[in-house]
Amino acid sequence: MPFSPTATAHRGRRTAAVSLLAAAALSLTACDGKDSRGQAPSPAVSPSADRSPSTHHSPSAQHSARPHAGPSSHTPGPTKSPTSGTRVACTPEMLRFHAGAARRPINHMVLTVTNISDRTCDFAGQPYPKLRFGGEQRHATPVIRRSRPGTAVSLAPDATAYAGVTTSAADRPDGKGEKISQFGVTLARHTAPTQVGLDNGAPVYVDVDTAKVTYWQSCRADALKW
């Protein structure tokens, strides 16, 4: 058979085409799930597929999920002092007394008491002062019942309370009495009186039979209206 260059070229192209088809078949086999060694390839790990938003734990997410145990997570309540709720009665040692005649109304005197301690005290147990004007006085000066305030007076440090003293009855200005420049004050019965001198030493006329005293008041005007 005579040699034909055209036939030889056709055979060469067919051989190349067969080789290309074989390579393509191998490539298709590998893409079908197995590599050239017949083993299934390891699944590709996608960062976005493996870490979904619901399972991804960022530092801020862990911080919000965990209870915060720092000092600012708890607001302390009010600190109760050991003496909270305990009433402290005013005693003579905690107080400073003053007394003097009032300009108005007539026949009146004002007893003033100031808390000189560093504690708040009250007069709940001794709501009015017991006054002694002389040795012949058998009983403490009676209190004016109507003058009792709604609540007992409480004295903070440096605070002041007042008691009004009616030195004589209006209808008995010249009754049985005497001029005094000091008198005794007690806060409770059966205790030694504290001697209180009058301001400026000016004596005041007192009728022990008709004299009366008010309850402790937080306002001077309230002490003088009885």
Q: Dihedrals φ, ψ of 80, to 5°?
A: -90, 120
**How much is the pTM?**
0.61
Q: What is the mean pLDDT of residues 193-216?
A: 92
Please write the tens of the pLDDT for every residue from 85-137. 577 999 999 999 999 999 999 999 999 999 999 999 999 999 999 999 986 77
Strands (E), the chain: 95-101, 108-115, 121-122, 130-132, 154-155, 160-166, 178-180, 182-186, 194-197, 204-206, 212-213
